[in-house]
Structure 1
Amino acid sequence: MTWEEAARKFKSHESSMHGLSPLTGPRLSPAPPNSRSNYTHDPHEMDLDASPTQHTHTRQPSFSDARIRTPLPTGPRPEKPTNIPPLPGYDSFRADLQGSADRILASASRSRYAHVSVLLIRWQDDEDLGARNAVQDLAKVLGDDYNYTVQTKLIPTSLDESKSHWMWLSRVASDFIADQDQRDILKIFYYSGYSYLDGDRDTVFASSKHADPASAIRWSSIQQYFENARADALLIMDCAYYPSYKTVRRQGMLELIAASAGEDHVELLGRSSFTRALTDLLRTRAVQQFKEPFSAAELHSKVLSLYPCIIREQHPENEVMARFPTPLCIQLSGVKTLPSILLAPLRHGEAPRSPQSGPHLISLTFRLAEDTFNVDSWAEWLRSMPEGILEAKVEGPYRNMFQ
């Protein structure tokens, strides 16, 4: 059978199928010798895609579409490789950061510090018995209830001619800061005594109002040790404190709580009322198991709220209080996002909580701008983890393989 005979035989059937054969597909015929010049369009002989401007009717898909238009693969796309080797040379970074996270989460009180050192300073010739007892009570609470390392030193009354009270306190403060000066350590410095403002607008410590000016200690030069320390520092002053605009903190947090902001508070409050109020607050909070630890800022606000009650007890004859002193709180930080210093009991030897008790897992991945990793900065961030986290796993850093 020739092509012409086949075309005549199946012409009627092809018209119903719009020029298609269910078995053979579109008709194929050999081109005549002069096909380019004798070509004429026959819609029953060809099934060509028409542009929208040429045809407006909808064409049924032909069996040849599967052969002409091959679809793209529809399988799942390959995932990013998960076994990316970490950057070489950063094993110590990962280990130190993991150790910081484990230590923070091991304590039920979630203290930000692995160790807290306390230095209590008062004058040897201070004859006020109430002041001595107040310092002893504060040392007992911080040592027994909070498990802090506490030492009390007395500023000597007499020194050799080659030494001065400023030199003595400068050496004591320097040694106190130098011992374990690191970011997960908290240093607490406490002073009980008399203070005044000298001609250079600096706070000066003295044993009494009538003490020899030669024995006075200019505090600004001593405070520089705490300003330059790596460890967080909390200064507690049971005296009037006169702030200085020169105070600068390079790193970490430096906070100060003083009995009053420059005015004479002893006349209305009495000697060491500030220390006794602070000690009672710390003792009460330490035994409250379901209460969050004190921040230095909250401790200051609590002492402030107690001042009116203390004055009423000291002066019941005054029905109306015309004035009363206010405790001072100062925060200085090299990083503005650091929170206030946290005063929480240290539970040494406490068994860590089981991580299996938490049913939820959250994974966070960070893409860093450069290959510099500061353990202190990351540990500082971990110390501010929200409550409810039972375990933290540190992985990486990894090389960025997907640009």
Structure 2
Amino acid sequence: MIKVLVVDDEIRQRQSIIKHVGWQELRMNVIGEAEDADQALKQFEAPDVLITDIRLMGSSGLELAADMRRRNPKLKVVMVTGYEQFEYAKTALDIGVEAFLVKPIDFARLEQVLLQIADGLEQERQLQAKLQGYAYKERASFLDDLLHGLLNEVEDHTLERQAMQYGLFADAAPRAVIVAVCSEEDAEWAKVMGDCAQMAFDGQVEAHVTTARQQMAFIVRAGTRDVWFGNALERFAESLMEAGVPGIAIGIGGDAASPSELANSYRHAVSAVNQRKLGVKGPLYNWEQLIGDRKRSHAQGIVQRAIDYMNDNYMNNLSLRSVADAVYLSPNYLGALLRSELGTSFTDQLVAIRVARAKELLLAPDLKLYEVAERVGYQNFGHFSNLFKRMTGFTPKDYRQFQSMPGNE
């Protein structure tokens, strides 16, 4: 409905206008009345149409119209006067008054003027909606191209300027792309996901776009390592599940410091959310965590191959280089992996393997102590004995005697 404010210092005149006009047919609604400019400016709702007497207590209707027009340039104004004061006509035209009516008011004429205003406002709103639709489609197209890496050839400064035109990256804060997927294609679910994201991230969703069937991408103004971001993600997932969005999965990409980095963040988010197809449980899938898991898994695999090689060859003259060569790594890298994954050095790990095997061999009474040392890779028995005692608290001889005691077998 079109909102109308009636201003006149005569209450009868105000009531007459309100009573004798068919507001419903005009698609209009009187939201208030006032006797002067002060009351008019204090109205809670801003009107679309102002009907005012040209003479008011304390100021003129022209001044009121000009003041309200500064606040709302689209305001439509109908002036009413008790005299044919045409000296006001030029001023009225200057501020864009739609009509100038003389009292006593011809209500048929007033309704005709208001109908023209209503039709004009409707046309303006339709045009505005169409323009907004074009702008939304243009923005959505830009975002879609940006996230899919189709603008990678555009220079960074040009891309940043274009992004700012669409309300993106207006400041230096990092952004992250979140991809939300549900198991049913439904426009209503897309709206629910958008609403839940805005609430969960407290208005920090800078943009969102449907990037594929059943999939939406959200650009969030936050760093993924922020505690706030993690809490917001949990709220987002919980709100989607509470809303009943079916088969929800949320992928989180890495931080993007500029528009050109959003494509990587989006790609990572999609890769993360696709983990659900591999049986990984959701609903949250963090790219950096998954990458970390993959790196850890890869590192653990390398370390295990190195340990297996050491277990199979502990009796030989092993070195960090010989083991590194066996698993196709540099000695420094293998040494670093052993420290990060096992918390120990190569030498200590080799000693632990050899001592563990020596403890088994010492249970065989027919083997001499120096033979045990040689079988686990030590030609110098004294060196072996010192290492064994450091690891177990026993000399090899004492360990054998201790294990041979009743109850220690």
What TM-score does the superposition give when structure 1 sets the normalisation length?
0.26
- The structure whose residues are more often helix, as a share, is 2
Could you say which structure has the greater relative contact order, defined with CA pairs below 8 angstroms and 6 or more residues apart? 1
What TM-score does the superposition give when structure 2 sets the normalisation length?
0.25
